[in-house]
Amino acid sequence: MTRRFRNLFFLASAAGFAVFYLWGLHLLPGFGHYPGPYGDVLNALSVYERHATDVITAVNFDYRGFDTLGEEFILFTSVMGANLLLRKQKDDKEEDPPLDLARDRLAPPTSDAVRVAGLALLLPIVVFGIYTVTHGQLTPGGGFQGGVILASAPLIIYLCGDYENFKRITSHVLTEVMEAVGAGGYAVTGLISFIFGYKYLQNFIPLGQTGDVFSGGTIALISALTGLEVAAGIVLLMISFFKQTLVYRKPGEERGDRNA
Amino acid sequence: MHEFLRMLPFGVSAWLFVVGLYGIVTSRHLVHLIMCLVVVQTSTYLLLLGVGFKAGATAPIFVDVPVGTPAVDPVTHALMLTDIVVEATVMALLLALAIQAKEHAGSVDPEELRILRG
Amino acid sequence: MLVMQVTILIFVAIAGGAVVFTRNPLNQVMGLSFFGLLLALMFFIFQAPDVAFSQIVVGAVVIPLMVLLTLIKLKTKEQSKKNDA
C-alpha cells in the first residue's frame, strides 16, 4: 500500500465517519440531558442496597463486578505480556547501570531541592494511596486509583536518588506474587459466593454501617485486592522497563554513559 | 449557539478520534504512533462523559449531599476509570513491542518494517 | 460553570491536536503529559472526581516515564547500529 493511497483511503473513511457520526448525533439526547434510567436508579439505591456512599465504586466492584474482573485480567495480561517482551534474552549481557545516559554532556546531579521535596512527599503519598484504596466505597477513590498512587511512591525514590535506590526497595519476585494474589483473590472472592449459595461475585460479607471503613461488604475487599494488583502491576512494569533500559545490553551495544 | 453547546463534547470526541487516527496513518515513528493511539482512546472518554452528564447535577457521591440530589451517571464513570488504568498497561505492552521491533527489524519507522510484509 | 466546561473542552481539543502534530516523540511526550493534566481538570469540572484521580497519576507519572525509558532504549540501539557500520 503506498503512502498516497493510504492517505486517500483515510480521507475517504474519515468523511464517511463524519457523515454517519453526525447522523447518529442528530438523534442522541443533547449534552446535559441525561436520558437513561440506570444511573438514576443506581444513585437512588446503592446507599441503601450496598451501604456505599460512593456509587461509582459500588458500580465498579459490585453491580458491575464481573465486568471489572475482565478488565482486571486485561491489565494482568498486558503486564505479563510486557514483562515477557522485556525479559532478559539469551544474548543479553548485564552491565552496571550507567550513572548518566547523556553522551555529549554531564547530567547535573539531582538537586537538593528535588531530594528534599521528594522525600517529604513520600510518606504522604503512601498514606494517601492506602487511604484512597480503603475508603473507596465512601469517598472518591478505590482500588484502581489508590493502586496507581501507591505505585508512584517507588518512582519518587528513583527521582530523588538513582536506580540503585529504586532496586533496593523493590523486589521483582514480591511484586509478581502480589500481582498474582490481587488478580487471583478477586476471582476467588467470586467463588466464595457459591459457598453461601449466592451467584458469582454476589455480596456475601455483612454490609456494615454506612460511612464505616468496613462497610459495603465485598466492595471493600475487592477494592483492596484490586489496589494490590494495580500497584504491583505498575511497579513490575517499571522494574522491567528500568532493567531493559539501564542494565541489559545486546552484544555490540556500547555502554550508555559518556565514560564508555 | 445553543445547538453548538448541545453537541460540543461529542464534536470534540469526534475531532480527537479523527485527528488521532490521522496521526496513526501518517506516523513515521512507532512511539509517536502509540501516543496518537492514546489520543484516539481519549475520544471514548469524552463520548462517555457527554452521554452521562446531567446539567446542574453533582458527582454521584452521597457523603455531603443527601441521597436524591440530582447526580450524574455513575456507570459511565466506572467504565472510564478502569479504562484509564488499563490503558496505561496496554501502552506499556505496545512500547515493549516497539523496542522488539527495533531489535528485530532495525527500525521504528512503520514504513520500514518490511519484516511485517507477507 | 458552563463557561468553564466550554473552555476546558476547547483546550482539550487543541491539546489533542497538538499531541498528534508534534512529530518528535521527545517533544510529544511533554505534550501528552500536559494533555493528561487537562483531561484530569476536565473530569473534575464534569463531576467525575474518581476518574480524575486515576488520570492525574497515569497521565503525569506512569505514561511519560515509560515513554522516556523506551526512547532511551531505542537511542542506545541506534548508537550501537552506528558503531557497527
Window C:37-66, CB contacts with B under 8 Å: 39, 42-43, 46-51, 53-55, 58, 62-63, 66
Highest averaged pLDDT of the listed ranges A38-47, A209-218, A251-260, C34-43 = C34-43
CB A72 within 8 A of CB A227: no
Which residue(s) pair with B54 in the sheet? A32
What's the CA gap between B14 and C52, in Å, rounded? 21
Of A253, A35, A163, A124, the closest CA to residue C77 belongs to A253
What's the CA gap between A137 and C14, in Å, rounded? 35
pLDDT exceeds 60 at position A99: no
**Nearest-CA distance from A147 to chain B in Å?**
9
Q: Which of C53, C57, C76 sits opposite A256 (nearest CB)?
A: C76
What's the CA gap between A229 and A191, in Å, rounded? 18
Q: Provide, for chain C, the percentages of residues in helix, strand and coil under a 3-state DSSP scheme, each rounded to the nearest 5.
A: 90, 0, 10
- Quickly state the pLDDT bin for C79 (edges 50, 70, 90): confident
- Kindly report the pTM of this predicted structure: 0.91
Q: Which of B16, B32, B87 sits opposite C28 (nearest CB)?
A: B32
Mutate which: B81, B85, B87, B112, vs C, most C CBs within 10 A: B81
pLDDT exceeds 80 at position A103: no
Q: Inter-chain contact A6–B111, Cβ cutoff 8 Å? A: no
List, in order, residues 6 or more apart from B43 with CB less than 8 Å away. B13, B14, B15, B16, B17, B20
pLDDT exceeds 70 at position A219: yes
Torsion sign across C-alpha atoms A88, A92, A98, A101: negative
The reported pLDDT for the residue numbered C40 is 94
List, in order, residues 6 or more apart from B50 with CB less than 8 Å away. A31, B9, B10, B13
The position carrying cell 487537562 is C38
Compare all CA atoms of chain B with the CA of A137 and give the residue at the minimum distance: B61
DSSP code for A211: T
What's the CA gap between B53 and B45, in Å, rounded? 12
Q: Which of A7, A36, A142 sits opposite B25 (nearest CB)?
A: A7
- Quickly state the pLDDT bin for A260 (edges 50, 70, 90): very low
The position carrying cell 449531599 is B65
**Nearest-CA distance from C30 to chain B in Å?**
11
SS3 B54: strand
The reported pLDDT for the residue numbered C71 is 92
Interface residues of A toward C, Cβ cutoff 8 Å, are 54, 56-57, 101, 103, 132, 140-142, 144-145, 148-149, 151-152, 155, 234, 237-238, 241-242, 244-245, 249-250, 252-254, 256
The reported pLDDT for the residue numbered A259 is 42
Q: Which of C20, C70, C81 sits opposite B98 (nearest CB)?
A: C70
Mutate which: A34, A91, A234, A241, vs B, most B CBs within 10 A: A34
Which residue(s) pair with C8 in the sheet? none
SS3 A158: helix
Compare all CA atoms of chain C with the CA of A234 and give the residue at the minimum distance: C62
The reported pLDDT for the residue numbered B116 is 56
Give the H or E element holding residue A249.
strand A248-249
* CA-CA-CA-CA dihedral for A185, A187, A188, A193, to nearest 10: 130
| pLDDT, tens digit, 9 for 90 and up, residues A181-199 | 999 999 999 999 999 989 8
pLDDT exceeds 60 at position C65: yes
- The grid cell for B14 is 469526534
Quote the percentage of chain A above a pLDDT of 70.
92
SS3 A171: coil
pLDDT in single tens digits along all 118 residues of chain B: 677 777 889 999 999 999 999 999 999 999 999 999 999 999 999 999 988 888 888 899 888 888 888 899 999 999 999 999 999 999 999 999 999 988 888 888 888 876 555 4
| pLDDT, tens digit, 9 for 90 and up, residues A149-158 | 999 999 888 8
Q: Which of C50, C65, C84 sits opposite A140 (nearest CB)?
A: C50
Q: Does C79 reach chain A within 8 Å, measured CB to CB? A: yes
The position carrying cell 457527554 is B50
The reported pLDDT for the residue numbered A248 is 85
pLDDT averaged over chain A? 87
The position carrying cell 548508537 is C79
Q: Which of A57, A241, A253 sits opposite C66 (nearest CB)?
A: A241
- What angle is formed at CA C84 by the lines to CA C83 and CA C85, rounded to 5 degrees? 95
Q: Inter-chain contact A60–B78, Cβ cutoff 8 Å? A: yes
pLDDT exceeds 80 at position A98: no
Chain B contact set for A249 (CB, 8 A): none
* CA-CA-CA-CA dihedral for A193, A75, A58, A185, to nearest 10: 30
Of A218, A28, A173, the closest CA to residue B13 belongs to A28
- Count of CB atoms within 10 A of residue A103's CB? 12
Instruction: Write down the ipTM of this complex.
Output: 0.90
The reported pLDDT for the residue numbered C75 is 86
Q: Inter-chain contact B38–C53, Cβ cutoff 8 Å? A: no
- The grid cell for B73 is 451517571
Which residue(s) pair with A54 in the sheet? B61
CB A47 within 8 A of CB B62: yes
Chain C contact set for A142 (CB, 8 A): 50
